[in-house]
Structure 1
Amino acid sequence: MKDSDQITAGLNEEQKEAVTAPRQNILVLAGAGTGKTRVLVSRIAYLVERCGVDANRILAVTFTNKAAREMRDRLALILGEHSSRRLWAYTFHTASSHILRNFAAEAGLTRNFTIIDTADQLSVVKKVMEELKLPAEVWVNNVKYNARNYLQKIMDEKARGNRPGMEGESILPSFYDVYAQYQNRCDKSDQADFEELILRTCELIENQPRVRQYIRMKFQEILVDEFQDTNSLQYRWLKLISGAENLDPEKKPANVLIVGDDDQSIYGWRGAAAENMFYFQKEFAPVKMIKLVQNYRSTKAILSNANSLIKNNTRHLAEKNLITHNPDATMVKLLESYDNNDEAEEIAKTIRKLVDNLGRDPSDIAVLYRTNAQSRLIEKELVAYGIEYNIYGGARFYDREEVKNALAYLRLIINPEDNISFSRIVNVPSRKIGKVTLSKIEALHHEFGVSMFRAAEMYVTKNKSRPLKDFIALIKGFAARLEEIPGKSEDIAAFLKSVITDSGLRDYYQEKTAKEEADRSIDRTGNLDELISDIANRDYLEVEDQGIEAQGMAEPESDEEDDADNSDNKYSLRDFIQIYLASAALMPSSELLKSEENHAVNLMTIHCSKGLEFGAVIIAGFEQGLLPLERYSSFEKEDERLEEERRLAYVAITRAKELLFLSYAQTRMSYYGTYNTGASSFVEELDHNCLDTDLDFLDA
């Protein structure tokens, strides 16, 4: 057992207080760069080593898969591999998917349910709108809405905990009919979207006392990172998981520690509510608050500007002023340009000097911007100056056509009720299954209320369609092999390779790649190989969480002998594939950063930069109309919108460790013409004692 001094070594007094506090509800108000991840990891280690809490009874909730992996990796170094493997360290969505899979019957699902991503959700909405004879584009009050707007509204309703019919009004015509039909299609296909994972978990715990009892016995300590980014549904989820909802008054709730910073709340547009931190103080009372203000990331000049800016917001959970002992460096620099073309060139020239004259690694440089549209001119100039770059938060690897099709095969093999995957791959590669045949299958699907795959099986019993029979046999053959192949993680890559080859996907994309030879950026077979490599190297720690239901709702045991037998062969190949498919669906594009591998400059929106840090940061378009974004001026509660924009600028500034450039143009050209902009009003709120325009240091 490690001494508590070993666990807290190197921590400052406030961090130590958070790590060693008695087991209770705690709110850690952690400013940017104050070492919150280290505090979370050390707190978990302290609970295990000094308080005797079984790691299997601890739930650590993060907002990104990357953060969860980092937490487990750090804990493995402190506690060892055994304890770190027992810890539940997941995102809200991943933790929910594990709970639902373990209690699938009670949740109205099967263990084989699939998670659908945004693209698949959109295809369902479009089909529903067609069936309801709604036009693809709907005009309301001279504003155009389409399937994406309907989908966003559905997700908004779920994020508020609303089912079809629970709320009665929407400006979108027939919205609740679309919502009801959308959900009906997902339920029949044994599928869940992102918000459904959390909402259905909440309903499961609320409606199933035995499940609620198990969850309460399972988790004694819960830690939540980035709490300011939680929405109302996630807050409800936490209350239910912890027992704070008080549905079983005789049972003691779990202890909950939340970490957050209301000054970094930048996702209000998607439902995040920093107010949840206020609610937590009240509804989880008594709550101990601990503030972390010592910043380990940035220079004094950068922090002085950040503090000066954010103090202009009026809504704060508690006052805090970030401090640092980092040595002084250069001032924060203002870059002024005539227009956005000049700005893009100035940014490229600055990066060229940072690399050539100051020896900066390109991967340690980031260009941040408020809107994606700003990147086009910057990319053009980076190419002109011979600077490699990667766009962080761009298209997902898993959304590429060939990758999505390969995953659709796996999804249909696992879950034959998956109508989206059936429709996607039944003719990929082409099997010459005609539209007439597919329409008849669709008719059987609707008439008998069965899946498209089952409808296809019904069709071939009375109709001659050799290609369709072969496709059905192919899928069923792969499904049978899942039961034959021993459940070892290394077998999953071989299985996927076989699926890609035997289905004809590899040959199909080799031919397609040859036809697209003029576009060297497309390497479809290479992407399939990358997918095989990805599935082989995936961390399958979660497989150990797949069998908790087997304990028959009894109190979770802490059996060392049982844990020692947690070898791969206890699990089926199906278990591993389910985990991989879930992780692929839940992996956002904002986590796919590869610039460190090829020494390229990072380009991203400010929202995507949250949680990252770079030696040198250039904020492009630090000007009126962009930051704060002009369109917000038409909204009600403009002061609240302005405060969120100020928090966004604060987040951007605090991504910088040593060098920070604020770039703006006097005029900006767009599709609608040229208009005057100039420096952002936020510039006036900065610390002008730590701000200048001198760039001579770049020519050193």
Structure 2
Amino acid sequence: MVERVAKIFDKEIASRIVAGTFHSVSYKYLRSRNPNLILKQEGDIRTLFRTIYERRDFSQIDSELAVPYSSKYLYEVYNFYQNIELEKDFGDWIEENKEDHEIFADVYQNIVDEFEETKRELGFMNFNDLLLRMKESLKNDRPEYVEILIDEYQDTNLLQDSLIAELKPKSLFCVGDYDQSIYAFNGANISIIGSFTEKFPNAKVHTLVKNYRSTKPILDLANLVISKNERLYEKQLEVTKKFPNIPPKLLKFDKLFSQYDGISEIVKKSKTEHSEIAILFRNNSSADGIEGALRKFNIPAKRRGGRSLFETKEVKALLDIYTILLNHKDMMAFIHIFEYAKGLGVGTAKDIFEALKLLGNGDIYRGFYEPNRNISNPFKSGQNNRQLLLSNDFIELGSVSRFQKFNFPEQFLSNPILKHPRLSEDGAELLFEFRKLLLTFRHAKNPVKVIELIANGKIYRYILNILKSSRSKLPNGEHSKEKEKDAVAGIVNRVKIIKKLSMSYNDHRSFLNAMVLGSKDLTKGDGVNLLTVHASKGLEFREVYIVDLMDGRFPNTKLSKQSDGGIDEERRLFYVAVTRAKEILYLSFARMDDKKDKSFEPSQFLNEGKLI
């Protein structure tokens, strides 16, 4: 966008524009004021939350109404709460919105209080924190923006909306389409765009009705279905593209997987380039079936919007090792690495990290190389706290004689961390290798050298062997040489990509922050596009297939009942899917999943669109 502005005006004007997502703009603002800001991967933050959660003993609460939320689900609930609630404490919000869990509200509140306090102590931030910290900082340090433009305004949540309000812009320009509001499950609130003229009574509203993408038959279908939703503003899409005039085609199949095969046959015969074909689905569960069918017909395909390169375990492990080498206070990176060690769990890894900090007066490097010899037992004993459901066991020291066979140097063998009774042999060996890596890292001047150092080291190879082994197993537990070959090829390729990325950076911290913040999909290749409707938003393709249009799947009745958006949001999702097509649109459904012996009814949207 900034590049396009520079072409129209000049580079000087373009250089004054701050552009990006809410999160990236907040990151730039906060980083300019604190260069040492540490932005953590979502997985790291979840693990930190879990370590705090697991110190609570919920069995002390006698509840017949509900069982406590799991750590994973409680984190998701808290994350959702942060985006939609601006006034109530988490515990109060739980009592009001999750009545079955009212009995756990105080404990949940205590967990998130400790979570937030621990993040502050460690200097960690996740994506929600970026918005919250910027909003707080704006009260005393507000940049003077002449104009603020918000795109995709229909997808804003209350937290983002409050950030806009705190910026107090002199001029605000918002672009949005209420018919494309499809993120209620993430906290997006359609009432924000719906009440725009009430919040800003002097606002000028310009309605854009000309559609330059799709043909008349496609737009007629989209308009017909979306008209079933309540109109917030008057709008009827007008056609500018007259040809080709191909009506949407409905494909009917008896069986679910016959549907996938049938679509693959049509794609095989299509004259449209693969990159201009998209197969859209409401739920990720549809992806494997259609991808398998395409492969059967030797049609190249690429899944978009799924797990990113940076979420793969091998890349996360690589970056975790890099992170702890750079930032000796990063407990979560340390835990992620050492929980791979056979016989070593999250709790023991956390104990060892805290012990190293204690021995090294806050620095694990000194904890390894210059430990305080006056501390014989660095493992803190815990105290039970019944009110907060905390429980920790006192750690009795073990013997280091079990590690004599490894011929560790005396300086390391005498380190009190080896006395942890739950430290395994593999754990001890990895600690020794990590100790050596800490020293070697001091001589690595740039990111590419560090990536090479880690990738060739024993710790990373140990982790990769575990990943390779787990990915080489068949469903019956047997080893597959073919799967092992694929696993190794995938791992090697991903490490090569990270190494190539690192060549663009000279600074360690800039590289690591870019790896966390970066959103480019580096794994894209050529082929038919497979993606969820959510992931397709903003994209367009000459030829589009919308699959699994059965009630229960699309619309997803279960999710629509749970979501604030309800069936209206499912209908908006269908509208988005239809309007991805420029010229050719196929819609398909199956009457039965014979593998599950489950029958289906056609989607209600097919009825609303008068296709059946």
- Give the TM interval when normalised to the shorter protein: 0.7 to 0.9
Distance 1:593 1:505, change over 3 A: same
Q: Which residue of 2 aligns with 1:91?
A: 21
> What is the one-letter code of the residue matched to 2:55?
E
Q: Which residue of 2 aligns with 1:403?
A: 315
Alignment of 1:422 with 2:389, yes or no, is no
Alignment of 1:533-548 (within 5 A): 533-537=500-504
Alignment of 1:403-482 (within 5 A): 403-425=315-337, 438=349, 441-442=352-353, 444=355, 453=364, 456=367, 460-462=371-373, 464-465=411-412, 471=434, 474-475=437-438, 478=441
Q: Distance in 2 between matches of 1:661 and 1:195?
A: 39
Alignment of 1:620 with 2:542, yes or no, is no
Q: Which residue of 2 aligns with 1:586?
A: 517
Aligned alpha-carbon RMSD (Å)? 3.5
Q: Distance in 2 between matches of 1:531 and 1:650?
A: 38
Distance 1:391 1:438, change over 3 A: closer
TM superposition score normalised by structure 1: 0.69
Alignment of 1:500 with 2:454, yes or no, is yes
**Deviation string, structure 1 residues 106-153 (Cα, Å, up to 9, x no partner):** xxxxx3232223322221122112112348xx9985678422211111
**Residue 527 of structure 1: which of 490, 494, 510 is its match?**
494
Alignment of 1:51-70 (within 5 A): none
Alignment of 1:149 with 2:96, yes or no, is no
> What is the one-letter code of the residue matched to 2:603?
S
Counterpart contact for 2:560–2:570, Cα < 8 Å:
no
**Deviation string, structure 1 residues 493-537 (Cα, Å, up to 9, x no partner):** 534435435755676578779876642332323321210212335
497-506 or 611-620: bigger deviation: 497-506
Distance 1:506 1:411, change over 3 A: closer
Question: Alignment partner of 2:173: what SS?
Answer: strand
Q: Which residue of 2 aligns with 1:335?
A: 251
Q: Which residue of 1 aligns with 2:136?
A: 203
> What is the one-letter code of the residue matched to 2:156?
T
Counterpart contact for 1:391–1:604, Cα < 8 Å:
yes
**In percent, how many aligned pairs have the same letter?**
26
Counterpart contact for 1:139–1:145, Cα < 8 Å:
no
Distance 1:122 1:634, change over 3 A: same
Counterpart contact for 1:344–1:377, Cα < 8 Å:
yes
In the TM superposition, what is the alpha-carbon distance from 1:339 to its structure 2 partner? 2.0
Q: Which runs of 5+ in 1 are unaligned?
A: 1-70, 105-110, 244-252, 486-491, 539-572, 693-700
In the TM superposition, what is the alpha-carbon distance from 1:458 to its structure 2 partner? 9.1
In the TM superposition, what is the alpha-carbon distance from 1:86 to its structure 2 partner? 4.0
Q: Distance in 1 between matches of 2:554 and 2:345?
A: 52
In the TM superposition, what is the alpha-carbon distance from 1:190 to its structure 2 partner? 0.8
Distance 1:435 1:615, change over 3 A: closer
**Deviation string, structure 1 residues 569-627 (Cα, Å, up to 9, x no partner):** xxxx54xx444433432345xx52755x42x1111111111111111111001121122
Q: Distance in 1 between matches of 2:454 and 2:14?
A: 34
Distance 1:436 1:352, change over 3 A: closer
Alignment of 1:288 with 2:200, yes or no, is no
TM superposition score normalised by structure 2: 0.78
In the TM superposition, what is the alpha-carbon distance from 1:426 to its structure 2 partner? 5.5
Q: Distance in 2 between matches of 1:455 and 1:320?
A: 68
Alignment of 1:181 with 2:110, yes or no, is no
Q: Which residue of 1 aligns with 2:475?
A: none
Distance 1:459 1:533, change over 3 A: same
**Residue 667 of structure 1: which of 558, 567, 592 is its match?**
592
In the TM superposition, what is the alpha-carbon distance from 1:262 to its structure 2 partner? 0.4
Q: Distance in 1 between matches of 2:544 and 2:345?
A: 54
In the TM superposition, what is the alpha-carbon distance from 1:300 to its structure 2 partner? 1.0
In the TM superposition, what is the alpha-carbon distance from 1:78 to its structure 2 partner? 3.1
Q: Which residue of 1 aligns with 2:603?
A: 680
Q: Which residue of 1 aligns with 2:422?
A: none
Alignment of 1:192 with 2:103, yes or no, is no
Counterpart contact for 1:352–1:387, Cα < 8 Å:
yes
Q: Which runs of 5+ in 2 are unaligned?
A: 377-410, 414-428, 473-480
Counterpart contact for 1:227–1:277, Cα < 8 Å:
yes
In the TM superposition, what is the alpha-carbon distance from 1:423 to its structure 2 partner? 2.0
Distance 1:328 1:192, change over 3 A: same
